[in-house]
């Protein structure tokens, strides 16, 4: 496989596959995925629950290892890297907002947000973390532990933590999934400000069609296959099956 990848690609993926072993045998979650995302692009990944969106995000962010294929993150191939090198690459280039937040239980909101900045040796980590928590509307919750915060508040702490190091690529798995519409809009505005001001590449997994339509590109995951959707206005939420059944009706059109 060629190691040459376009210089302005934030993410390049060739023939990516992911299988896991289950009690029932081998399960192939991702099937022959190809993808090229330019630096500074905003990309939404839609698709039904269980179709493989979080699995793909984890692989792209070098948090997981593919079964086959290659991923280049900011021009660097991931497969030759050991765990330590992958951790260093993540620290340097990537932030991740997890579907399950992944806050450190024993640290306060402020300490959770400060942590990546301190690890990266950022000066004034505390002041920056306070300012970032202010931007997500949590100045009054600095000393609360995660268990003392609501789901939406925990999500906003996770967002503040992801923003503090001004990543090159921001991966967000359902970043507005636990938020009311006012906070959801505010967080979406912050995501696109980061994208426009810092040229941060955004890869968002979302069931929120309004958020998806604000992205430059919409991709649809369907049973481990990823397809570009060229007709964002035709994306529809199937109300009969709740919010997690986003269908790309344009695909059939
Ligand atoms: N380590 C694993 N072992 C077994 N099955 C797994 C593993 N990881 C993921 N899966 C399965 O792979 C499928 C895809 O999971 P994934 O979390 O990527 O879905 P998703 O598209 O993010 O769904 P949702 O919208 O509900 O978050 C699911 O059916 C899940 O049960
Ligand atoms: Mg998921």
Q: From CA 157, how far away is CA 7, in angstroms rounded? A: 33
CATH class of 9-252: alpha beta
Residue 54 CA to ligand 2 center (angstroms) comes to: 4
Probe target for ligand 1 pocket from 19, 48, 55, 241, with the most ligand atoms within 8 Å of CB: 55
Q: Taking CA 39 as the corner, what is the angle to CA 202 and CA 5, rounded to the nearest 5 degrees?
A: 125
Task: Name the H helices within 43-180.
Answer: 53-60, 83-93, 109-119, 125-135, 151-163
Residues whose CB is less than 8 angstroms from the CB of residue 124 and which lie 6 or more positions away in sequence, other chains included: none
Q: Please count the CA atoms within 13 angstroms of the CA of 165 that sit on its side-chain side.
A: 26
pLDDT, tens digit, for every residue of 186-200? 899 999 998 999 899
Q: Please count the CA atoms within 13 angstroms of the CA of 215 that sit on its side-chain side.
A: 31
pLDDT, tens digit, for every residue of 57-107? 999 999 999 999 999 999 999 999 999 999 999 999 999 999 889 999 999
Predicted local confidence at residue 99, as pLDDT: 86
Residue 173 CA to ligand 2 center (angstroms) comes to: 7
Residue 139 CA to ligand 2 center (angstroms) comes to: 29
Closest CA to 183 of 145, 226, 153, 149: 153
| pLDDT per residue of the chain (253 residues) written in tens, 0 to 9 | 445 566 789 999 999 999 999 999 999 999 999 999 999 999 999 999 999 999 999 999 999 999 999 999 999 999 999 999 999 999 999 999 998 899 999 999 999 999 999 988 889 999 999 999 999 999 999 999 999 999 999 999 999 999 998 899 999 999 999 889 998 998 999 999 989 998 999 999 999 999 999 999 999 999 999 999 987 777 765 433 333 334 444 333 3
* Pocket lining for ligand 1, CB < 6 angstroms: 20, 22, 27, 29, 47, 49-55, 99, 244
Q: From CA 148, how far away is CA 109, in angstroms rounded? A: 10
Where in the chain are the domains? 9-252
């Amino acid at each position: 496989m060629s190691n040459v990848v376009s210089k302005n690609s934030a993410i390049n993926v060739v023939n990516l596959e992911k299988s896991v072993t289950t009690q029932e045998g081998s399960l192939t979650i991702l099937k022959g995925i190809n993808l090229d995302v330019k630096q500074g692009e905003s990309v939404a990944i839609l698709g039904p629950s269980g179709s493989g969106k979080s699995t793909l995000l984890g692989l792209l962010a070098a948090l997981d290892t593919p079964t086959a294929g290659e991923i280049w993150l900011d021009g660097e191939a991931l497969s030759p890297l050991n765990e330590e090198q992958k951790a260093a690459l993540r620290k340097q280039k990537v932030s991740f907002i997890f579907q399950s937040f992944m806050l450190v239980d024993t640290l306060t909101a402020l300490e959770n947000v400060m942590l990546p900045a301190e690890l990266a040796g950022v000066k004034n980590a505390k002041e920056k973390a306070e300012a970032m928590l202010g931007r997500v509307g949590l100045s009054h919750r600095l000393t609360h532990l995660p268990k003392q915060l609501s789901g939406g508040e925990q999500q906003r702490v996770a967002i503040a933590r992801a923003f503090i190091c001004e990543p090159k690529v921001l991966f967000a798995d359902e970043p507005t999934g636990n938020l009311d519409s006012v906070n959801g809009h505010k967080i979406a505005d912050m995501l696109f400000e980061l994208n426009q001001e810092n040229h941060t590449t955004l890869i968002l997994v979302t069931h929120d069609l309004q958020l998806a339509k604000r992205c430059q590109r919409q991709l649809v995951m369907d049973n481990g296959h990823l397809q570009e959707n060229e007709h964002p206005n035709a994306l529809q939420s199937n109300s009969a099956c709740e919010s997690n059944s986003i269908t790309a009706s344009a695909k059939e059109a």
